[in-house]
Chain A
Amino acid sequence: MTLDLGFLLGQFLAALASASALFLVASGLSIIFGVTRIVNFAHGSFYMLGAYLGYTITEALPTGVLGFWGGTLVAALAVGVIGAAIEIVVLRRIYRSPELFQLVATFAIVLIIQDATLYVWGPVERLGPRAPGLDGAVQILGEYVPEYDLALIAIGPVVLGLIWLVFHRTRWGVLVRAATEDREMVGALGVNQSWLFTTVFFLGSALAGLGGALQVPRESVSLLMDLNIIAEVFVVVVIGGMGSVLGAYVAALLIALFNAFGILILPEISLAVPFIVMAVVLIARPWGLFGRPESGEHQQALSEEPLRPLGLARRAAILAGVAGLAGLAFLGGRYGVVLATDIVIVSLFAASLHFMMGLGGMASFGHAAYFGISAYAAAFLATYAGLSMLPAMLLAPVAAMLAAAFFGWFCVRSTGVYLAMLTLAAAQIVWSVVFQASEITGGDDGILGVWPDKWAKSREVYFLLTLAIGAMALVTLQRIAHAPFGYVLRAARDNRLRAEAVGVDTRNHQWAAFVVSGVFAGIAGVLFVFAKGSIFPDELAIPRSFDALLMVLLGGVQSVFGPLLGAASFTYVRDEISRLEYWRFIFGILIILVVILAPDGIAGGLQRLWRWIAARAGFRRVTPDKAEGA
C-alpha cells in the first residue's frame, strides 16, 4: 500500500467532505434537542425527504447551476415547513409528557414518512444527476478529488458560520441559545414558547433537508436513507455535546476521519468505528466534547404514584390477562399459540427494560444487546456444546448478566440521554462483533436449528413452558420492585442527592439494577431463541431495542402494568395490520393517537377511562386518589 502524502491528503479531503454532509444533518438535530429536549428520531426522515425532494425539484427545474442550487434550497425549505408542521400538529401536544415520551411520537413519524415516501416516489431508488459545473475531478498531488467534494468541504464551515451569525446577531438566535442553556429561563423571559419551538423545528428540519438534498449528487436516493444515517447522526450530536453546533462540526470531523483512516487499517471494524469513538468520548467526557451536564431538576417533575402492593382489582386484571393469553393460545388456532408465545416473551423483555427505566430512571436505547447475547449464548450451548434445552436456558442468562455488568459499569457513570446513548453504543459494538465474527456466530446467516427438545417441540407445550417461565420471571421482577432494593432504586431515581445523603451508593444500585435488568432480558432471549429455532444479529440491533423502548413508553413508564400492556398491544396490533400494504403508515398514526390521547401511556389512559366510567356510573372510590395522570 502506498501511503504517500498525496494519498493521505486525498483521504483527508474525502473525510472533510463526508464530515460536512454529516454535520448539516447533525447540527439540525442538535439545535432541536438543545431547545426542545426532544430526542428526534424522525430527523433521519427529514434528511431522506430532503434527498427525495431535492431529486424531484432539481429534475423539474431547468438543468444548470441555478436549477441545481435553487432546487436544493427549495427542498431544504420545504422540509423545514414539513418539520414545523409536524411540530405544530403532533409534538406541541405532548411537551408535558414524561421524559422521552416524545421519542415515541418521533418514531411514529419515522414510520409515517417511510410509507408516505414509498407511496409518492415508489420503492425503486433514484440516482440523481451530478451537480452541474461540479461534475468532474481535479488533481491535487496526483490524486483525483471530485469538485463536488470541494464544494461540500466549503459548505460545512459556511453553514456553521451562518448559524453562528444567526445565534449571535439576532434576537431569535439569542433566545435559542438562552433556551439551550436553561429551558426554564425562556418561560421567565416571557417568550412565546410555542413560536420558539416551531421556528427551531423549522430550522433544524431545513438543515436536515439541506443535508439530504446535497447528498443527491453523491448517492442514489433510497428508502433506506433515514435509518442508515440516524444512528451516526446521533453519535455525532452526542460526541459534540447535545445542543452544541460547534460540537456537532468537530464530532462530524472526528467520525469522518476515523471512518476514512480506520478503513485503511482495519477494514473489518468499519461498522463499529463511530460507536467505539462515541463510547470512548463519553467515558472521558460524560456530556460530550462541548456539552454541559443536564440540569437535573426539570427531569424530576414526576408525579408518579407510590407503588402499591397489588390490590384485588389488579390481581383480577392479571388473571384476566393470563386467561386471555391462554384463550388466544388454545382457541385462536395454531397461529394463536405462536402469537401468544411471542407476547409472553416480548412482555418479559419489555418488563426487564421497564425495571431499569421506570424504577431505575435509566432509559436504554440498547437493551436488545442482553436479549440477544443470552439468545446467542443459548444457541452456542445448544449447538456447539450439545446441551439440551433446559440447561442451556438456565446457563445462557449468565452471559447476559456478565455483559450487563461490563457495559453497565460504564453506562451508569452517565445520566439521561447520554446514558441511553452509551447503552446504544454498547449494543452496536456487540452487534458488530456478532455480525463480524461469522466464523462463530454465522454472521447475518445467524445460528439455525436451535429447536426445543422433543418433549417441548409442540407449539402448545412450548407455549405453556414459556408462560410458566415468563410468569415466574415477571413475579420475581415484581418482588424485586417491592423489595428494599427496588425501593432504594426508586429513591435514587427520584432524588439522587437525597439518596446519597442517606448513605445510598446510588451509582452502585443503578449498576446492580442494570445487571438485574440484563438478566431478565436474557431470560426473554432464551425463550425467544427456542421459540424461533434460530437467532440473527437483528435481534441485538437498534430496531429490536427500540421496539422494547416503544412498548414501555407506550404502555406507560409509571405503571408496572405499562410494559405488559404495551408489549401485548404492540405485538398484537402490529401482527394484525402488517398484512396491509401501507401498514407502517397506519401503525404510525395509531401510535400518535395513543401518544396524544394517553400522554401517560396506555396504562394511564385506561386508568383515567376507568375513573371516568366509574364517575359516570356513580361509583364512589373509597380513597380519593389525587394523582391524576402526569
Chain B
Amino acid sequence: MAAAAAAMLGATALGTGALAEEPIKVGELNSYTRMAAFTDPYKKGWELALEEINAAGGVRGRPLEVISRDDDGKPADAVRIAEELVSEDEVVLLWGTFLSNIGLAVADFAAQREVLFVAAEPLSDAVTMEKGNPYTFRLRPSTGMQARMLAEVAAKLPAKRWATVAPNYAYGQDAVAKFKTALTALRPDVEFVGEQWPGLFKIDAAATVRALDAVEPEAIYNVTFGGDLAKFVREGQLRGLFKGRDVVSLLTGEPEYLLPLGAEAPEGWIVTGYPVEDLGDDPNHKPFLEAYQAKWGELPQLGSIVGYVTLKAVAAAIEKAESLETEDLVAAMENLTFDSPVGPVTFRDIDNQATLGAWVGRTALKDGRGVMVDWSYADGADYMASPEEVAATRPAE
C-alpha cells in the first residue's frame, strides 16, 4: 500500500526533478505486430536515437527512458495503453503510433487527459487540422501534403482519365479525396472515371485489377500498401493493367513496401518514398546512415528516419522546456526547431505540423530490386496547409 501511495505521488516528485539520476520516462506506443514491416525499422531508428541521446548525457542531465508498448493495431487498445503509460508508468509525454485512427484516438486522449502527444507516423490531415488539439503534434508530412507533392508531378502528365484504388478505410479515402482536389486544381480538364475500394489487407487483387482495367483509364492513382500492394502489383502486371498507363502511387517508394516486391517492383511509377541508397553523400544524412548501419548492419528504411527523428524531437522539446509539466512541454514543442538527417525541422505553431518533407521520384529496378530514381526532396514547408486554411479548419484553441 505504501508502494501504491508512493507511486501516486511519483508523478509530482518526478515533475520537480528531485532525483538527478532518476530517468525521464517517455511513453511510446505503436503497432509492432500488426504493422511489423514499418515499425521494425522504426524501432531500430528510435533505439539508435535513444543510444545517441543517452551517450551524450541524456536530457536535462538525466537519462532518457522509453517505455514502448504494442497497441495491437486497435485504437481502443491504444487508448487503454496510453492511459496505462500515463497513470501507471507516469511518463511525461506520449509519442509514436502508425495508423491514422490510432493517432487520432491517442490525440483525443491526450487532449482529455492534458498530456503531450507527438504523433510520429499517422498521416491523416485530421490529426493537425479538423481534429487538431493543442496537445498533439505531428512529425510526418500529412496525406494532404504528400498528395499535393504527387499531384504536382501528375499534373504534368498527359493523362486525363484517371482511376483510383485505395484501401477502404479513412486513410485511403482521405488520400484519394486530397489527391483529387489537388490534381483538379492544377488540371481542371482531368476526370476520374473509376474507383476501387478493397478492404485493408483483404484485397481481391484479380477482381480489383480487372475492374480498374474495365474503365480504361489513362493513369492510375494507387494508395494500397503492404501485402495489398504486392498482390495488386503482381496481378496488375500479369493482366497488363499497367501497360501504357502512368501510375502515381503514395508511399510506394518507401523501402518497407518496395523491397518486399523484389524483382517484381514496378518500374516508372511516380511515388513518394525514401531513396536511401543515393543519400550516402548528403552531408546531413551521412552521419545517421553510418551510425544506423554500424548499429544494425543494414540500410535504414523510412520508418527508421521517422523513429529516429521523432525521438530526437521529443528529446529536444524536453531539453528546451522550462519544466516537465505538460504546459511547459507543449510550449517547448511550439516552433521547436531541431536538427535531423534532412536538415533542420520545425513544428509550426499554428497547426503543430512539422516541416519534415518527403522524397518524390520514380521507381526503377536495380540489381533485382526496386529503387527510386529521378528523385527530389520536397520540403514539407512548401506543401503545408495555408494559415487561412488552418484557421478555417482547425478547432479554435
Contacts and interface: CB of A to CB of B under 8 A. Distances in A.
Contacts, number: 188
B227 A222 contact: yes
Contacts of A332: 4
A1 B202 CA distance: 24
Nearest to B70: A578
Nearest to A262: B207
Contact of A538 (B8, B75, B208, B262): B75
A397 B34 CA distance: 32
A219 interface: yes
A534 B204 contact: no
Interface stretch (A167-175, A405-413, A442-450, A614-622): A442-450
Given A10-B210, A224-B201, A534-B79, A335 B262 contact: no
Nearest to A15: B207
B363 interface: no
Interface in A379-435: 435
A137 B197 contact: no
B214 A1 contact: yes
Nearest to B257: A125
Contact of A218 (B36, B207, B231, B264): B231
A536 interface: yes
Chain B: number of interface residues, binned into ranges: 35 or more
- Between A124, A137, A260, A459, the greatest number of chain B beta carbons within 10 A of the residue's beta carbon is seen for A124
Contact of A446 (B8, B34, B101, B260): B101
A534 B112 CA distance: 11
Interface in A126-183: 126-127, 130, 136-137, 143-146, 149
Given A149-B206, A270-B199, A127 B211 contact: no
Interface stretch (B80-88, B145-153, B273-281, B351-359): B80-88
A331 B7 CA distance: 10
A118 B108 contact: no
A539 interface: yes
Contacts of A145: 239
A321 interface: no
B227 A270 contact: no
Interface residues of A, number: 71
Contacts of B199: 270-271
B216 interface: yes
B75 A146 contact: no
A334 interface: yes
A193 interface: no
B64 interface: no
Contact of B84 (A3, A338, A445, A459): A338
B215 interface: yes
Contacts of B112: 449, 451, 533
Interface string A583-608: 00000000000000000000000000
A143 B202 CA distance: 24
A97 interface: no
A446 B75 contact: yes
A123 B201 contact: no
Contacts of A15: 207
B76 A538 contact: yes
Nearest to B36: A123
Contact of B101 (A14, A264, A444, A532): A444
Nearest to A260: B207
Given A264-B211, A338-B87, A144 B239 contact: yes
A18 B206 contact: yes
B170 A443 contact: yes
B104 to A, nearest CB: 5
Nearest to A457: B112
Contacts of B260: 124-127, 220
Contacts of A579: 69
Nearest to A136: B238
Contact of A334 (B76, B88, B104): B88
Contacts of A459: 87
Instruction: Tell which of B70, B210, B262 has the most Cβ of chain A within 10 Å.
Output: B210
Nearest to A231: B202
A267 interface: yes
Contacts of A228: 201-202
Contact of A448 (B131, B214, B235): B131
B396 to A, nearest CB: 15
A267 B101 contact: no
A7 interface: yes
A113 interface: no
A337 B216 CA distance: 58
B79 A532 contact: yes
Contact of A270 (B33, B84, B168, B210): B168
A191 to B, nearest CB: 41
Most buried by B among A337, A435, A443: A443
A353 interface: no
B79 A14 contact: no
Contact of B33 (A123, A137, A436, A533): A123
B239 A146 contact: yes
Interface string B318-357: 0000000000000000000000000000000000000000
B205 interface: yes
A137 B173 CA distance: 32
Given A219-B230, A220-B260, A264 B88 contact: no
B187 interface: no
B105 interface: yes
Contacts of B74: 536, 538
Contacts of A125: 37, 226-227, 230, 260
B294 interface: no
Contacts of A559: none
Enumerate the 9 nearest inter-chain pairs by beta-carbon distance, A residue then B residue, closest first.
A123-B36, A334-B87, A335-B88, A14-B206, A448-B108, A220-B230, A144-B239, A219-B231, A335-B87
Given A220-B227, A448-B105, 4 more contacts: A220-B230, A448-B131, A536-B76, A539-B76
16 contacts: A1-B214, A7-B210, A124-B37, A127-B234, A146-B235, A219-B227, A220-B230, A270-B204, A435-B169, A444-B101, A445-B124, A446-B104, A449-B108, A459-B87, A532-B80, A539-B76
Interface of A: 1-3, 7, 10-11, 14-15, 17-18, 118, 122-127, 130, 136-137, 143-146, 149, 218-220, 222-224, 228, 259-260, 263-264, 267-268, 270-271, 331-338, 342, 435-436, 438, 442-446, 448-449, 451, 459, 532-536, 538-539, 575, 578-579
